[in-house]
Amino acid sequence: MKIATILGTRPEIIKMAPIIDEISKRGIDQIVLHTGQHYDEEMSDNFFRDLEIPAPDYNIHVGSGTHGKQTGLMMKGIEEVLLDEKPDIVLVQGDTNAVLAGALVASKLHIAVGHVESGLRSFDMTMPEEINRRAADVTSSMYFIPTEQSAINLLAEGFSRKNLFITGNTVVDACFRHLEIAKKRGFEEESLAELDIENMENILTLTMHRAENVDDKQRVTNIIEALKELSDMNIIFPIHPRTKNTLQNFGLFDELNNLNHVHIIKPLGYLDFLQLTSASTLILTDSGGLQEEAITLNVPALTLRYNTERPETVTAGGNILVGSDTDVILENANKILNDSEFAEKMKKAPNPYGQGDSAKLTVDAIEDYYKRGLLDIKAPEDIMDSFTRKMANVDEDITVLDFEKKENALIHMVFDGEKMRYPADDLNLNGMMVTYDARE
Ligand code: UD1
Ligand code: UDP
């Protein structure tokens, strides 16, 4: 079996590293293709170093550009490599342009696509990421899903449960594995610059790069107004290159940089960043990965967005959506900083993203599909399966698995009163309503 991984940005490198590592440990043939969307040393190479994974086999150097140009160049480059390498499955991760390009190209070459971190939905179609993740899901064959809630999103869109795998998120694997290593190593001299982060108290880690925030002058201004007021905190802001550019273009960079309590630094490597976030009192971010890491590291998070495709972090109690509204940011930040009971409750929010064995579960599922011949994309005459869609109210103690055996069926959706539930194999369906596909 040969597995091809496509990645292109900082979070994809971090979240695919545990899977790349697991594939390599099992001696499975693999290639890694970097699209080159992120190319600065501190946005790319440093992560291969910190996460101890080999340099990519291919880099197609697409660089920065409009969505159409960037995605088009990626598709051309990815197609050439896939035609040459002929992998059995292509893995894409998350919701960047690499996911869109990789999933479209591979599926049109009739190569199975495995979407890692699948099923997330913000329901906000103004986000390029929402378009990317939805399009990738349509063309995928295997879905590696962090939580039951994300799996329910896919079921509600009509996807079959048979190809869904709830694995947790590989970010937990990366966090658990590298935090210890990071703490032993300490901060890199260079990233400390003149900041003594190791001995600093009241740290607030800030990151933002989301187009809808940093490309909008009013929103950034509102966020900066809140930062000005948080003068009791040491705000450490490893700045994303996109954000540095827009703050400079808006003439806001110097104003922010001149605040005594705000320390703008270059993007940190993963080991330094983990140390910084785990030592923080509060995280203020619009990053997807950081919302997950905050709850993994037990640090309260305020998310500078009006919606999130990670709602589990909010319902678990570890994350609050504050948008870019100055007053709402301040009100919640002050509550966390001054009300220790409230802060403690946020810190204790249960982590919905698994135990850190996500890479193992993912590669287990791929190996199983390969052995059973399920990675081969079949011609229509081989996949036609005659079934009838049915609905039933269940009034006996019976698990999902037993119901399916009894009816020769595959359950699609389960409703427990008003609530949709994920049809886990051992769920007792008594008192619930199910929809299912019964084979004829
Ligand atoms: C991309 C992803 C976003 C992800 C983020 C992670 C898409 C549509 N967006 O956004 O989902 O959350 O990566 O960080 O795929 N730049 C540099 N050096 C670099 C990379 C970028 O200077 O190495 C600058 C360029 O000016 C570029 C801008 O940052 O135009 C934006 O980069 P781009 O890759 O288009 O989007 P991100 O904002 O990084
Ligand atoms: N990160 C990092 N150094 C930094 C900022 C972030 O290592 O200076 C890591 C962080 O730990 C997380 C990932 O980058 O795992 C998040 O990437 P980003 O916010 O760029 O993208 P998103 O997750 O929003 O797609």
Whether residues 287 and 422 fall in one domain: no
pLDDT at 194: 67
Query: In terms of domains, do 246 and 304 share one?
Result: yes
pLDDT average, residue stretch 380-408: 88
Q: Write the residue with the smallest CA distance to atom 16 of ligand 1.
A: 241
* Per-residue confidence (pLDDT) for residue 385, from 0 to 100: 67
Quote the radius of gyration of the chain (alpha carbons, Å): 23
Q: Tell me, what CATH number does 321's domain have? A: 3.40.50.2000
388 has a pLDDT exceeding 70: yes
Pocket mutation for ligand 1, best pick of 64, 132, 266 (most atoms within 8 Å of C-beta)? 64
pLDDT (tens digit per residue) in 307-350 = 999 999 999 999 999 999 999 999 999 999 999 999 999 999 99
Q: How confident is the model at residue 377 (pLDDT cuts 50, 70, 90)?
A: confident
- Ligand found nearest the CA of 130: 1
Do residue 362 and residue 429 come from a single domain?
Answer: no
Q: Is residue 404 part of a domain?
A: yes
How many whole angstroms from 206 Cα to the centroid of ligand 1?
17
Helix (H) or strand (E) holding 338: helix 326-338
* Rounded-to-integer distance, Cα 140 and Cα 262, Å: 43
**315 Cβ contact partners less than 8 Å away, ≥ 6 residues apart:** none
Do 190 and 148 share a structural domain? no
Ligand 2 pocket, Cβ-based, cut-off 6 angstroms: 10-11, 14, 207, 209, 238, 267-268, 270, 273, 287-290, 293
Q: With a threshold of 0.95, does the pTM exceed it?
A: yes
Q: How far is the CA of 382 from the centre of ligand 2 (A)?
A: 43
Ligand nearest to the CA of residue 67, numbered in listed order: 1
- Closest atom, ligand 1, to C-alpha of 132: 8
**pLDDT digit string, tens, across residues 257-311:** 999 999 999 999 999 999 999 999 999 999 999 999 999 999 999 999 999 999 9
Q: 386 pLDDT band (50/70/90 cuts)?
A: confident
Q: Which atom of ligand 2 is nearest to the CA of 94?
A: 25
Sheet holding 409-416, edge to edge: 387-393, 433-439, 409-416, 419-421
Residue 310 lies in a domain: yes
Residues 51-58 have a mean pLDDT of 97
Identity of the amino acid at 222: N
Nearest Cα neighbor of 8 from 38, 30, 31 is 38
The answer to whether 307 and 122 have CB atoms below 8 angstroms apart is yes
Distance 73 CA to ligand 1 centre (A): 15
* Whether residue 297 is found in the same domain as residue 343: yes
Contacts of 3 (CB under 8 A, 6+ apart): 23, 28, 29, 30, 31, 87, 88, 89, 90, 91, 366
Report which protein residue has its CA nearest ligand 1's atom 11: 96
Each residue of 384-419: b (16+ CB within 10 Å) or e? eeeeeeeebeeeeebbbeebbeebebbbbbbeeeee
Do both 298 and 434 map to the same domain? Answer: no
- Ligand index nearest the alpha carbon of residue 63: 1
Residues 296 and 361 in one domain: no
The verdict on residue 382 lying in a domain is no
| Domain assignment of residue 420, given as a range | 387-439
Task: Indicate if the pLDDT at residue 434 is higher than 80.
Answer: yes
- The DSSP string of 216-275 is -HHHHHHHHHHHHH-TTSEEEEE--HHHHHHHHHTT-HHHHHTSTTEEEEPPPPHHHHHH
**Average pLDDT in the 118-122 region?**
98
- Cα–ligand 1 centroid distance for 64 (angstroms): 7
Instruction: With respect to residue 181, please indicate whether it lies within any of the assigned structural domains.
Output: no
pLDDT tens sequence across 179-234: 999 999 988 877 666 678 888 899 999 999 999 999 999 999 999 999 999 999 99
Q: Is residue 378 part of a domain?
A: no
Same domain for 120 and 11: yes
Statement to judge: residues 362 and 428 lie in one domain: no
Using an 8 Å Cβ cutoff, are 314 and 297 in contact?
Answer: no
Atom of ligand 1 nearest to the CA of 39: 23
| pLDDT of the residue at 383 | 57
Q: How confident is the model at residue 421 (pLDDT cuts 50, 70, 90)?
A: very high
For ligand 1, residues with CB inside 6 Å are 9-11, 37-40, 43, 64, 95-97, 128-129, 209, 240-242, 245
Three-state SS at 407: helix
Q: Which parts of 141-237 fold into alpha helices (H)? A: 148-156, 170-185, 189-192, 211-214, 217-229
C-alpha span between 121 and 391 (Å, rounded): 26
- Interior CA angle at 12 toward 11 and 17, to 5°? 105
Give the pLDDT mean for 24-49: 98
In a domain, 380, yes or no: no
Mean pLDDT rounded to a whole number for the chain: 96
Query: Which atom of ligand 2 lies at the shortest distance from residue 15's CA?
Result: 15
Nearest ligand atom owner, CA of 96: 1
Q: Whose CA is nearest to atom 26 of ligand 1?
A: 242
Ligand 1 centroid to Cα of residue 246, in Å, is: 12
Residue 178: inside a domain, yes or no? no
Domain shared by 221 and 308, yes or no: yes
Give me the residues paired with residue 112 across strands.
Answer: 89
Note whether 360 and 399 are same-domain residues: no
User: What pLDDT score was predicted for residue 380?
Assistant: 65
Residue 174 falls within a domain, yes or no?
no
The total number of structural domains in the chain stands at 3
Q: Mapping DSSP to helix (H, G, I), strand (E, B) and coil, where does residue 371 land? A: helix
DSSP H or E segment with residue 145: strand 142-145
Provide the annotated active-site residues: 209
If one residue of 34, 37, 61 were mutated to test the ligand 1 pocket, choosing by the most ligand atoms within 8 A of its CB, it would be 37
Position 136 scores a pLDDT of: 98
Same domain (yes/no): 157, 15 = yes
The Cβ of residue 56 has, within 10 Å, a number of other Cβ atoms equal to: 21
